[in-house]
Structure 1
Amino acid sequence: MLIALRGRYNQRELAEALGVTARTLRRWEVGETEPPPYLADAIRQRLLPFTEDATRSDAPFRFIDLFAGIGGIRMAFEAVGGQCVFTSEWNSFAQKTYLANFPDSAHALNGDITKVHEDDIPAHDVLLAGFPCQPFSIAGVSKKNALGRAHGFADETQGTLFFDVARIIAAKRPAAFLLENVKNLVSHDKGNTFRVIKKVLEEELGYHITCKVVDGAHFVPQHRERILIVGFREKTHFSFDDVHLPNARPTMSSILHPQDGSEEPEGHYTVGPKAKVDDRYTLTPKLWAYLQAYAEKHRAAGNGFGFGLVRPDSVARTLSARYYKDGSEILVSQGPRKRPRRLTPRECARLMGFPNDFVIPVSDTQAYKQFGNSVVMPVMREVAVAMKPRILELVDPELAKQKSLLAA
């Protein structure tokens, strides 16, 4: 692509447009160094605006996937017809899982979003982000003015990853966004973090936001409360009351390996004609003794700390990214006088609402981290269902009107 552009731009012009030195550009051209993965998107946005129509499809709306993890939110929005046009995820192991499950993406998988200029991100209708929670350090506006520093979101949120969400929203003005975070975001840093986020989104960026804490236990046998922040560029009738949350609560029997031969053995997770869970997932005598002693110590002190033992009729605690260490928050009972076992990565995938054909190409340790950091996909899908008509009202008002008339 770079060589083709040299017919339209000289080396200096091309380097300036891409924000690099002519020397760097030359190294890319001769293969001395590898260009960054977002280069193709940068070229499309800055130098080939006429190609934008080529990236469009029949999808009713386009979205970008930031802090993408293993793609749970993307999967949810693709399920309602959206087209992903940009992805960012910095962790190389998560990238491997993401690429294994979205092999046909027409765009590159970008790494560190802090290194991607907002001008290099394609136009989109919806921004999706499960951004990490970080505290903000805020000085008074008068002090900033005295120091000659700008204030507003570019200053209040600088150094945090929410800043990257805000700068992209400011530059691209998508019709809508969905942000996901831990429930404790509301109380994080004595409420300062959430206050700044709301101020930036509502007052400085001018979006209309709605927030709700949703428990994934409506869809999977796991208590997993997450705060969802939905924003629209203009006022809409979106309400979390329109998000379908089933009353029936599933139990662990719906995600555990049946071990009766009704499913095929998978990798090293299950073995033999009955697809029994491999012995490697059973706790060692030493670890089991330690966890019992630890729990007893805290019980004696009047604390509730300890392992979580589940059976087929149970609902589990929240799966965490530290599950690979000892599995203590969710241990599966294997009967009296038997040591319990960890969940297999496949059971973790099911516990997060991922389909059985979701590819797990990484080690168990990495898989546990990835699912522990992921979203309950069916929750995101139902939010996408509720958001879609409101998105279309802003993206394509005529189409939204036609669909409304057909549904009447």
Structure 2
Amino acid sequence: MSAIIPGDVKMTTCQSFELLKLARSRFSQREVAEFVGKDTKTIRRWEKGETPCPSLLAPALRELLKKPSSNLLQQDNSFRFIDLFAGIGGIRMGFESHGGECVFTSEWNNFSKKTYTENYGDNHPFVGDIVPFPAENVPEHDILLGGFPCQPFSIAGVSKKNSLGRPHGFECTTQGTLFFDVARIIATKRPKAFLLENVKNLVSHDKGNTFEVILQTLRDELHYDVHYKIIDGRHFTPQHRERIIIVGFREKTDFSWDELQLPVDGPRLGSILHKTDGSEPYLPWDDDRFFDPDKKCVQPKYTLTPKLWDYLQAYAEKHRAAGNGFGFGLAYPDSVTRTLSARYYKDGSEILIWQGVNKRPRRLTPRECARLMGFPDTFRIPVSDTQAYRQFGNSVVMPVMQEVARLMVPHVQRMISEEQERCSFQIKSA
């Protein structure tokens, strides 16, 4: 039953607006609307300041604030986050494992969106391009997550763009400036914390100037307590994959990277390869797409054709003779692989699986790529192999995100608890 706003109570519009903000930190727009007898569009207009928040709203909001919150954030000290440049949700999965609730997602690639919604559903706002999206329309959240595009800063991306005479870094207007859209949202919504992920080369790009601009923006302009570290995914999966993680907190914290738990001896490639001894689990969502359960072998299409194998060997020999290090990367069960890239679908050359003497090697299957990135076998792959290779090559090592979330969440929860105490005091004082 909705609470009808009494008509004989005099309250200030300012006080109503402050109470509305408190209510929205604990209840959804729909719940507030139902309680005060209005529709969600009206609540949204009040929140955005498009129309004044009625002074007579205050008593109803005070009654609402006396009720138990429906929000997980209030019930079990959880937290809300948004997922920008989400890809297939690797960062999201790491933070969900620590009790987080995703309230907003942005991802422009339709194939990635298909994989994302297949695995996480679409029960919250999902937008494509974040650039034209108004920051004030982003839902309230505690942590902003963003793996902003790395191609303008990666070694391979910079080399390719240099060879083509194209701009890179912040001069790349299509991707390099997306960091400033992250900053725009942080400035508007002021989340309690953020996590940004990018390639290791971000630190050294343009002789360090690019990274300096990022730090100045986050620290000096947005006034966040910022910490960063390069972490190699090989601690958690059999892949050498160094990425920089930048975290920031709205308040000064005692956050320390020294508390990271990084296994010294990480797993080896054999742990993620399809098992041919009969122990490979049957995944009904994969069926026999990647692995033949009857013959107990990887599908033959993943073995390189004679023509491609001859080409890669000749290409490697050509560069070896010239003193270059270019060539394919042959991997064995006890190996730690090279970095999986988004171009893996082309020839698979960076990670070729040895299949025995006088036998042609094979590519990883998309399921093995998922495992190499730390995704569980429950993760579904609804797109073509080409798109799947691109998606996993652009993703994150999920257990790294899980471990960083483990460090961040207690600080965010403390800030949430302190905010709740302030809210309670304001309610009693209202």
TM-score normalised by L of structure 1? 0.79
Which residue does the alignment assign to 1:93?
Answer: 111
Aligned-pair distance for 1:275?
3.1
What secondary structure, in the 3-state scheme, does the structure 2 residue paired with 1:392 have? helix
Which residue does the alignment assign to 1:372?
Answer: 393
- Bigger Rg over Cα: 2
Could you tell me how far apart the structure 2 residues matched to 1:272 and 1:92 are?
31
Kindly indicate whether residue 140 of structure 2 is the aligned counterpart of residue 123 of structure 1: yes
2:71 to 56, 61, 65: 56
What secondary structure, in the 3-state scheme, does the structure 2 residue paired with 1:113 have? coil
Q: What is the aligned-residue identity percentage? A: 65
Kindly indicate whether residue 188 of structure 2 is the aligned counterpart of residue 174 of structure 1: no
What secondary structure, in the 3-state scheme, does the structure 1 residue paired with 2:131 have? helix
Say whether the 8 Å CA contact 2:152–2:175 is kept in structure 1.
no
Change (3 A) 1:369 1:386: same
1:214 to 220, 228, 231: 231
Q: Write out aligned runs for 1:149-164 (5 A).
A: 160-164=177-181
Say whether the 8 Å CA contact 1:238–1:386 is kept in structure 2.
yes
Kindly indicate whether residue 182 of structure 2 is the aligned counterpart of residue 165 of structure 1: yes
Aligned-pair distance for 1:54?
8.1
- One-letter identity of the residue aligned with 1:204: E
Aligned-pair distance for 1:55?
7.2
What secondary structure, in the 3-state scheme, does the structure 1 residue paired with 2:215 have? helix
Could you tell me how far apart the structure 2 residues matched to 1:367 and 1:292 are?
26
- One-letter identity of the residue aligned with 1:94: S
Aligned-pair distance for 1:96?
0.2
Change (3 A) 1:210 1:308: same
Which residue does the alignment assign to 1:32?
Answer: none
* Runs of 4+ displaced beyond 6 Å: 40-44, 48-55, 156-159
Change (3 A) 1:319 1:135: closer
Change (3 A) 1:320 1:171: same
Which residue does the alignment assign to 2:269?
Answer: 252
Q: When the two structures are aligned, how many residues end up with a matched partner?
A: 342
Which residue does the alignment assign to 2:294?
Answer: 273
Say whether the 8 Å CA contact 1:180–1:226 is kept in structure 2.
yes
Aligned-pair distance for 1:214?
0.1
What secondary structure, in the 3-state scheme, does the structure 2 residue paired with 1:114 have? coil
Kindly indicate whether residue 349 of structure 2 is the aligned counterpart of residue 331 of structure 1: no
Change (3 A) 1:300 1:135: closer
Specify every segment of 5 or more residues in structure 2 that has no aligned partner in the other structure, as ranges.
1-38, 49-60, 154-169, 422-430
| 1:325-370 deviation line (CA, Å, top 9, x unaligned) | 0000000000010000000000000000000110000000000000
Aligned-pair distance for 1:379?
0.4
Say whether the 8 Å CA contact 1:392–1:399 is kept in structure 2.
no
What secondary structure, in the 3-state scheme, does the structure 2 residue paired with 1:85 have? strand
Could you tell me how far apart the structure 1 residues matched to 2:385 and 2:93 are?
22
Change (3 A) 1:54 1:157: farther
| 1:68-93 deviation line (CA, Å, top 9, x unaligned) | 00001111101000111110000000
1:205 to 222, 227, 230: 222
| 1:306-341 deviation line (CA, Å, top 9, x unaligned) | 000011111100000000000000000000100000
Change (3 A) 1:290 1:87: same
TM-score normalised by L of structure 2? 0.75
1:184 to 201, 218, 231: 201
Which residue does the alignment assign to 1:15?
Answer: none
Aligned-pair distance for 1:110?
1.0
Say whether the 8 Å CA contact 1:179–1:230 is kept in structure 2.
yes
Specify every segment of 5 or more residues in structure 1 that has no aligned partner in the other structure, as ranges.
1-39, 137-152, 401-408
Say whether the 8 Å CA contact 2:82–2:145 is kept in structure 1.
yes
